[in-house]
Amino acid sequence: MNLSFYSSFGDSNGLPVPEPSSPFNTMAFSSCGQLLAAGTEIGRVFIFPILYQNQLLPRTHICPSLSFSVPQPKYDMNRGILTNPYITSLKFTPEFQLNPKLLVSSSYSTHLYQIKRDDTSSWTKFTSQYDCPHKESPSIQYRGEHIQILDDLRLNEIVYSDFYCPNSIFVASTNGTCLFEANRNEVSMLSVTSDRITCADMNQQFQELFLLGKSDGALSLYDMRQQPENLSPSFEIKIPNFLPKDHLRENFTEIKSAKFAPNNVFFAARTFGDIFIFDMRNPSQPYSQFDLQWFKRMDSITVTGMASDKFGLEFIDDIRVICGVYEEKMVVWDIEGQNSTKIELKNPLTPKKTVDVTANQCSCVAVNPKVDLVAASAQESIFFFTIDEEGGETVS
């Protein structure tokens, strides 16, 4: 299988980039594949039209039609702390909608937006320095309407949010999980933990099930059918038990990402250097595992703070996983065939640049649910790839 470059945004000085720019941190496609939402470290969200009449837009037309900043006070008066505008999670409503709702989480609050089709708007320049090079830019324009803010003082920093049902929002923070009843402004705490939660994911078929990854390398499955509150894990996996000995270093065993597969039975867990696949029916041992990246001088890497870097993780289908690594690259891993390909995040029309082997990681990845398209980000750029069948550089 090969990922062929299709389009890019933000990787060339000749393209109009909305200012101020900042590295992208999270992305999500809408359920119908029409839109891509991308969030940055400074609290800005970009909306990209992707499909028109269920067809992929021309490559020159894939650029933001909407960008907005999430309202976030610099100082939280109720908590007495400084806040961070960093966008940690984006999720569209699971239903197919022309004007979908979008969950945007940052710092200690989750915001509910509605992304509305705006047929009356026209193309505007993003900056005064550049004219838009797309003379036939699409007429697909959107506007964002802020509907509601969800917050609870019992929650620490939010790492994940998703729609449990149209009016119920699941939120995972570093210290616990809860359900917000948006219409009634009620909150039910599902679980509270003393171990720092680093990531979460909700099963799309059995939405009562969710995964929590933690800083100590524990990965837990929870079932909301168990009881209304004070949930205990259905099972817990200690990922460090399966790591190679030389990978058992402090801060490098935490779970960076956790994802359910499309079959809703397999799930993946990603640490700094390794990725594991588990079968929910037999979680005692990994179904498969793969050594993604490791470096000889890990002591110096720890000093530079790389242990806290984030990497993208997503399933292409039931047997293929795509995940980010350094050097602005991503790896596609075939679980069954046990082979992998490495893809460089690069526009072939732009000059090749030198990237440090321990810098500029692929921080987030998203797979379009309706067409064979992958979006991946590195720093302030987003790259789009179509999925083909053969080719690619084998990872050594």
Alpha carbon distance 67, 45 (integer Å):
5
Query: How do residues 113-134 score in pLDDT, each as one tens digit?
Result: 999 987 764 544 444 444 444 4
Residue 305 pLDDT level (bands cut at 50, 70, 90) = low
Q: What is the mean pLDDT of residues 320-343?
A: 92
Give the three-state DSSP class for 365: strand
Percentage of residues of the chain with pLDDT beyond 70: 86
Query: How do residues 40-91 score in pLDDT, each as one tens digit?
Result: 999 999 999 999 888 999 988 899 999 999 988 788 887 888 888 899 999 9
Q: 176 is written with which tokens?
A: 């616990």
Q: What is the mean pLDDT of residues 325-342?
A: 91
Q: Is the pLDDT of residue 319 over 50?
A: yes
3-state SS track over 59-110: HHHCCCCEEEECCCCCEECCCCEECCCCEEEEEECCCCCCCCEEEEEECCEE
Q: Is the pLDDT of residue 390 over 70?
A: no
Smallest CA-to-CA distance from 24 within 35, 5, 37 is with: 37
Query: What pLDDT, on the 0 to 100 scale, is given for residue 350?
Result: 78
Query: What pLDDT, on the 0 to 100 scale, is given for residue 357?
Result: 64
Query: How do residues 13-29 score in pLDDT, each as one tens digit?
Result: 455 556 557 889 999 99
Q: What is the mean pLDDT of residues 264-268?
A: 96
Query: What pLDDT, on the 0 to 100 scale, is given for residue 107?
Result: 85
Residue 166 pLDDT level (bands cut at 50, 70, 90) = confident
Alpha carbon distance 362, 365 (integer Å):
8
Q: Is the pLDDT of residue 181 over 80?
A: yes
Query: What pLDDT, on the 0 to 100 scale, is given for residue 356?
Result: 64
Query: What pLDDT, on the 0 to 100 scale, is given for residue 290?
Result: 93
Query: How do residues 221-244 score in pLDDT, each as one tens digit?
Result: 999 998 878 899 999 999 999 998
Burial (0-12, 13-18, 19+ Cβ within 10 Å), 36: buried
Domains, the chain, with CATH or none: 2-121+137-388 (2.130.10.10)
CA angle 249/255/261 to nearest 5° reads 140
Please name the residues in contact with 289: beta carbons below 8 A apart, sequence gap of 6 or more: 242, 274, 275, 276, 277
> Regarding predicted confidence, which is higher, 136 or 39?
39
Alpha carbon distance 44, 323 (integer Å):
24
Query: What pLDDT, on the 0 to 100 scale, is given for residue 116?
Result: 92
Query: What pLDDT, on the 0 to 100 scale, is given for residue 368?
Result: 97
Query: What pLDDT, on the 0 to 100 scale, is given for residue 358?
Result: 64
Query: What pLDDT, on the 0 to 100 scale, is given for residue 19?
Result: 57
Query: What pLDDT, on the 0 to 100 scale, is given for residue 393?
Result: 43
How high is the mean pLDDT of the chain? 86
